[in-house]
Copies of this chain bind each other. A is one copy, B any other.
């Protein structure tokens, strides 16, 4: 298969190059850039020096030659390529937010400040959170070329943490707020320079950003709402992203209310609480039993970004607070892999009928 990457000069593009180069079913890779076409990819990413990755094409030329296309462009910039792909009969995997909201243009526009360019493309698109939509993706792909709206990094981490709790096996507080507190490495901000990403301004420090206003909020909300509706109940979500002084990884700590406790004294968790935690952990393990890339960690272990570094795994650790009334699920992904390029490759594998693990089997690297 000949795969193409449009937007190869961004960080998600670089990661797609890295993953697709090692994919057993991809025998050729085409790269394109809107702004750097005609240049060598080496002039942009010097780590790719002398690797024979070729010259950056124009997106148009890439679309005309590739067998499957990845779009790693800012929101609003890729719809025409998606359309061109469909017209040519090939699938398009989009890493922006353009196709994450399906036909709900209103929500997309409210948060991204953009209209849909070709609204009708949503007749052929599917939201690509594999663990949620695998069968839908497969079904749609069986009918012809598709567009996949590859999920955001935070929505992937947070949704996978919350899904088993919302899916029905647990008693959770009706109307309670789910709080997702997450921290990302600086690659999440992309390759564009910015004061906040200048090493001396973020090195050796931690800070929140876009509190109460991050664009991933409605995507997380929608995912949780879908899962919750299987059981009934109202969805409420608070999401706060932070920036930490590391390169890769997202750690999300998700708080899910299990009911209204009595308050009272603050004492260490009882043995009952520990037993309850084990039960919930078992629910989580069962929920993800067949998932190739979700690992529910055993008791006594906590998710950590370096435990999934450079891999497509999402690690989940399941805890209760001392009172046993709040479920705390910690989720760790590599934001560039499961949070972007890796999940995009996973979606390609599903669409094209490859082994879902193909090209994604590298073990996590602690460092």
Give the interface of A toward B (CB within 8 A). Answer: 11, 14-15, 17-18, 21-22, 45-51, 107, 110-111, 175, 177, 179, 181, 183, 185-187, 189, 191, 193-195, 197-209, 211-213, 217-218, 221-222, 234-240, 242, 244-249, 251, 253, 255, 257, 260-269, 295, 297-298, 301-310, 315, 317, 319-323, 325-326, 328, 330, 332, 336, 361-367
Contact B47 A365, beta carbon cutoff 8 Å: yes
- Name the residue of chain B whose CB is nearest to the CB of A255: B179
Q: Taking each of A261, A305, A365, which has the highest tally of chain B beta carbons within 10 Å of its own beta carbon? A: A365
In the bound complex, residues from chain B placing their C-beta under 8 Å from that of A308 are 47
Residues of B within 8 A of A305 (CB): 205-207
Shortest Cβ distance from residue A216 to the other chain B in the assembled complex, whole angstroms: 11
A297 contacts which of B49, B213, B303, B325 (Cβ < 8 Å)?
Answer: B49
In the bound assembly, the distance between CA atoms of A204 and B310 in angstroms comes to 12
Among B244, B247, B266, point to the contact of A183 (Cβ < 8 A).
B244
Interchain CB contact under 8 A, B207 and A322? no
| Chain B residues with CB below 8 A from A187, complex form | 200, 367
Give the complex CA separation of A199 and B366 in angstroms.
11
30 A/B residue pairs, CB under 8 Å, sorted by A: A46-B297, A46-B307, A47-B306, A47-B307, A47-B364, A47-B365, A47-B366, A49-B301, A51-B363, A107-B265, A177-B257, A181-B255, A183-B206, A183-B242, A186-B200, A197-B198, A199-B203, A199-B245, A206-B249, A206-B304, A206-B305, A207-B303, A207-B306, A208-B303, A208-B330, A209-B302, A212-B320, A236-B325, A242-B251, A310-B365
By a CB distance below 8 angstroms, the chain B residues around A234 are 262-264
Contact check, B203 vs A186: say whether CB atoms are below 8 A apart: yes
Number of copies: 4
Complex contact B194–A247 (CB within 8 A): no
Q: Given A111-B268, A218-B266, check contact A295 B206 (CB 8 Å).
A: no
- Closest residue on chain B to residue A14 by CB atoms: B366
Q: Which residue of B lies closest to A332 (CB)?
A: B207
The answer on a CB contact under 8 Å between B260 and A175 is yes
Asked if B247 and A244 make an inter-chain contact with CB atoms under 8 angstroms apart, the answer reads no
Is the Cβ of B107 less than 8 Å from the Cβ of A323?
Answer: no
CB distance from A294 to the nearest CB of B (A): 10
By a CB distance below 8 angstroms, the chain B residues around A266 are 107, 217-218, 221-222, 237
Q: How far is the CB of A149 from chain B (nearest CB, A)?
A: 17
Chain B contacts for A261, CB-based, 8 A: 177, 236
**Who on chain B is nearest to A362 by CB?**
B22
CA gap between A308 and B48 in the complex, in Å:
9
A301 near B268: Cβ-Cβ < 8 Å: no
Closest to A219 in B: B266
What is the CB-to-nearest-CB distance from A353 to chain B, in angstroms, rounded to a whole number?
22
Give Cα A297–Cα B365 distance, bound, in whole angstroms. 27
Task: Known A47-B365, A306-B47; judge A246-B206 contact (CB<8 A).
Answer: yes
Q: Which one of A49, A251, A366 has the greatest number of beta carbons of chain B within 10 Å? A: A366
CA distance A255 to B322 in the complex (A): 17
